[in-house]
Structure 1
Amino acid sequence: MEISLGELVGRLGGELVGDPAVSIKQIATLDKAGEGDLAFLANPRYRAALESSQASAFILSPKAAGLTDRPRILAADPYLYFARAAQWFNPPKRPAIGIHPSAVVASPLPASVSVGPNAVIGENCDIGENCVIGPGCLIGDGVQIGADSWLHAGVKIYAACVIGARAIVHSGAVIGSDGFGFARDGDKHWVKIPQIGRVVIGDDVEIGANTTIDRGALDDTLIGNGVKLDNLIQIAHNVQVGDDTIMAGHSGIAGSSHVGRRVMVGGQAGIAGHLVVGDDIVVSAGTIVTKSLDKPGVYTAMLPQMPHADWVRNFAHLRRLDAMADRLRELEKKLADKKEKS
C-alpha cells in the first residue's frame, strides 16, 4: 500500500504540517524508519532518535511540532494515531471465502464465511457474515458467533457459548470448558458439580493464544464489550468482566468474581474468588487481590527485586514481626505506667 500524507489525514484526521503529496508506504519505529516510512514520537525523551530518524514523515503531539521541520501530522495522542494508521497499512490477510473440503459443517453458513481445513462446526450454530473459522477449530452445537469475527487455528468453543461481533480469538483458546466445581463427601472424595451455564462474550473482544474461559456452573460467565485478554489467561466460572477491561498474560480471575469496566490487570496478577473489583482500577503486575476493591486507583502488592541475601535477611525479620509487636506493646505499656507514677 502506498498513500499520500494528505490521504492519510483525510481519513484519520490530525493536522498536517508540510507537503500533503509525500508518499507513505509503511509505519516504522524512529530507529528503523527509512524513505517512505511514517514514524511516531510519543515520549519527548526520544527526541534524539527523532532527529536522526530517516522517516519521510512523523506523527507528533502539537507540543512537539517544532522538533523537526520535516512533514508531520500533529495529533493529541500520537500513539493512538499510530495504532489506527498501522491498522490501515496492515489489514489482516483473510483466507478465501468458502468451506474447505476437509471441514465438517453441520449448520447452514452465510456465503461470506471462510472455514479452514479440518474445522468442525456442530449443529444449530449461528455464524455471522464474513466470519473466519481457522484450520482445526472446533465449534460445538448451538454456538453463536457474531459477524466479522475471526477464530484462528485450533480454537475450541464448547456448546451453547456466545461470541459477539468482530471478535478475534487466537490459536489454542478454549471457550466454555467446565468450571472447576466440586463438592466433598464424607469420605473426602470429590463430587463433580455439573457446569450448565454458558460463556457469553460481547462485541469487539480479543482473546489471546491459549487463554481459557470457563462456562458458568449455573449462571453464565460474562465478558463485556471491548475486553482485551492477553495470552495464557484463566477466567474461571461465573466471572463477570466489564466493558473495555484489559488483562496481561498469565493473569487470572477465580470463580464468581466481578471485575468492573475499564480495569487494567498486569501480568501474573490474580484476583481471588467471590470478590468485586470496581471500575477504573489498575492492578499492578504480580499483585494478588484478596479483598474487594471499590475505589479507582492503582493497587500493588508485590516485592521489589533485591539480592538474594537481602531477601533472606528481610524475611527472617518478617517471621518475627508478631513477637516484635508484642514486645513493643509491653515497652509502651511500661513507659506509660512509668509516666503515670512520675
Structure 2
Amino acid sequence: MATTVHLADLIAALGGDLLGEAQTPIARIAPLDEADGQSISFLANPKYQAQLAQTQAACVIVAPAFAESATARGADTGVAISAAIVTPDPYLYFARLTQWWAARTRPQAPARVHPSAVIDPSARLGAGVDIGPLAVIEAEVEIGEGARIGPHCVIGQGARIGAGTRLSASVTVGFGCQIGARGIVHSGVVIGADGFGFAPNFKAGDASGWVKIEQLGNVRIGDDVEIGANTCIDRGALADTVLEDGVKLDNQIQIAHNVHIGRHTAIAGCTAIAGSTKIGAFCTIAGAANIVGHLSLADHVHVSAATLISRSISKPGLYSGAYPFEENASWEKNAATLRQLHALRTRLRELEKKNT
C-alpha cells in the first residue's frame, strides 16, 4: 500500500497548527538525525534541539516555543521544505501519528476462523472474531466482538476475552481468567499460571517437603491494557490477581499471585513484583526493579531502574537505590559520597596516623 500522504491529511486527521505548505508530501516518520526531505519528525525533548537545527525533515512536530526554529532551519541546512506542526504536546501528537500511520500501512486481513483451530462447541465467539492457525479455545470461553486470537494461542476453560482485544502468537490465558476490551497481549505471555505457593513440611521422618498450595483465584485484567512479550501474570491464591484499566507492562515482567496494579501504571522490562503487593494508580516502575511481597505503593509513585523496594511507600515521589531505597534526592547525595569512599578512607587513615 502506498504510504505517501500530504501534511493536509495529517492535520485533517490529528489537528495541530500547520506552518508551511499543506501539500508537502510525507512518505515516512523518522528521527530528527535520520530524516530526509520526505520525512516527518518530532522534537519532544529540548536536549535534541541541536538536531532540530540540522535535520533534513520536511516537517517537524514541535511545541510553540520551537515553532520559529523549526521553520527557519532551511536557511542553514539547505532544506527545500521546512514545515512545522505546532502542538502543546509533541510527544503525544507523535504517538497518535504512529497509530494513524500504522492503521493506513498495516490494514488487518478479513476476520476468519482458521480450519486448524480447535474450538469447543460451547465457546461463544462475537461477530468478527479472528482465530489463527492451531489456536485452542476450550469450553465455555467467551471472546468479544472483533477480538483477534493469534496462532498457537491457548484460551483455557471459562476464560473471557474482551471486544477488540488482540492476542499475538503463542499467548496462554488460563482457565477462568479475564481480559477486558481493546487489550494488546504480545507473544509468549502467560496469564493465569499457578502462583508460587508452598507450605514447608520438613519434620523428621516426613519426606513430603514442600506442600503445594493450590491457587484458587484467577487473573482479572481491565480495559486498554498492553502486556509485553514473555511476561507472566500468576493467578491468585484465593482472591484474584488484578490489573486495572490502562496498565502497560513491558517484556519479561513477573507479576506474582494476588498482586493488584492500579489504573494507568506503567512497568518496564525485567521487573519482578512479589505476591500480594498493591501498586497504586499512575505509577511508573523502571526496568529491573524488584518489589518484595505484601507491600503497598501509593498513587503516583515512580521507581528508578534496578531499585529494590523493601517497605511500603505512602507518599508520591521518585524513589531510587538498590539497597536501601530512599527518596531520590537523598539517594543522589549518598551515591555521590559512595563514589568518594576510597579517598575518604585514605584521608581517615592519614588522620589516624597523625593521632597516634
Bin of the TM-score, shorter chain as denominator length: 0.7 to 0.9
Q: Give yes or no for contact 1:98–1:111 (8 Å, CA) kept in 2.
A: no
Cα offset, 1:4, TM superposition? 2.3
Out of 59, 82, 88, the residue aligned to residue 57 of structure 1 is: 59
Q: Give yes or no for contact 2:149–2:168 (8 Å, CA) kept in 1.
A: yes
Q: Give yes or no for contact 2:195–2:215 (8 Å, CA) kept in 1.
A: yes
Structure 1 letter corresponding to 2:8? G
Cα offset, 1:164, TM superposition? 0.4
Structure 2 letter corresponding to 1:232? Q
The match for 1:157 is 173
**1:122 and 2:138 equivalent?**
yes
The match for 2:78 is none
Aligned residues: 311
The match for 2:327 is none
Cα offset, 1:185, TM superposition? 2.4
Cα offset, 1:173, TM superposition? 0.4
The match for 2:227 is 207
Q: Give yes or no for contact 2:42–2:90 (8 Å, CA) kept in 1.
A: yes
Report the TM-score, using the length of structure 1 for normalisation: 0.86
Deviates more, 1:197-206 or 1:100-109: 100-109
Q: What is the identity percentage for the equivalent residue pairs of Structure 1 and Structure 2? A: 48
1:138-153 alignment runs, 5 A limit: 138-153=154-169
User: Could you list the per-position Cα deviations for residues 267-286 of structure 1 after superposition, in whole angstroms to 9, with x for gaps in the alignment?
Assistant: 11011100000000001111
What SS is found at the alignment partner of 1:102?
coil
* In structure 1, C-alpha distance between the alignment counterparts of 2:142 and 2:108, rounded to whole Å: 21
Out of 293, 312, 322, the residue aligned to residue 313 of structure 2 is: 293
Structure 2 letter corresponding to 1:85? L
The match for 2:85 is 73
Q: What CA RMSD, in Å, does the superposition of the two structures yield over aligned residues?
A: 2.1
What SS is found at the alignment partner of 1:292?
coil
The match for 1:34 is 36
The match for 2:119 is 105
Cα offset, 1:44, TM superposition? 2.9
User: Could you list the per-position Cα deviations for residues 94-131 of structure 1 after superposition, in whole angstroms to 9, with x for gaps in the alignment?
Assistant: 34411111110112323411111111000111101111
* In structure 1, C-alpha distance between the alignment counterparts of 2:281 and 2:127, rounded to whole Å: 36
Contiguous gaps of at least 5 residues in structure 2: 72-81, 324-330, 332-337, 346-356
Cα offset, 1:36, TM superposition? 2.1
1:179-258 alignment runs, 5 A limit: 179-185=195-201, 187=203, 189-258=209-278
The match for 1:45 is 47
Report the TM-score, using the length of structure 2 for normalisation: 0.83
The match for 1:259 is 279
Cα offset, 1:45, TM superposition? 3.0
Q: Give yes or no for contact 1:121–1:138 (8 Å, CA) kept in 2.
A: yes
Q: Give yes or no for contact 1:179–1:214 (8 Å, CA) kept in 2.
A: yes
Structure 1 letter corresponding to 2:173? I
Cα offset, 1:195, TM superposition? 0.5
* In structure 2, C-alpha distance between the alignment counterparts of 1:259 and 1:65, rounded to whole Å: 40
The match for 1:277 is 297
Cα offset, 1:180, TM superposition? 0.7
* In structure 2, C-alpha distance between the alignment counterparts of 1:45 and 1:54, rounded to whole Å: 18
What SS is found at the alignment partner of 2:12?
helix
Cα offset, 1:93, TM superposition? 4.4
Structure 2 letter corresponding to 1:255? G
Cα offset, 1:243, TM superposition? 0.3
Q: Give yes or no for contact 1:47–1:67 (8 Å, CA) kept in 2.
A: no
Structure 1 letter corresponding to 2:134? N
Q: Give yes or no for contact 1:26–1:38 (8 Å, CA) kept in 2.
A: yes
Cα offset, 1:41, TM superposition? 1.1
* In structure 1, C-alpha distance between the alignment counterparts of 2:275 and 2:70, rounded to whole Å: 53
* In structure 2, C-alpha distance between the alignment counterparts of 1:108 and 1:296, rounded to whole Å: 43
User: Could you list the per-position Cα deviations for residues 187-231 of structure 1 after superposition, in whole angstroms to 9, with x for gaps in the alignment?
Assistant: 272111110101000001000111000000110100011100001
Q: Give yes or no for contact 1:205–1:226 (8 Å, CA) kept in 2.
A: yes
Q: Give yes or no for contact 1:95–1:114 (8 Å, CA) kept in 2.
A: no
* In structure 1, C-alpha distance between the alignment counterparts of 2:226 and 2:188, rounded to whole Å: 13
Deviates more, 1:195-204 or 1:92-101: 92-101
What SS is found at the alignment partner of 2:192?
strand
What SS is found at the alignment partner of 1:99?
coil
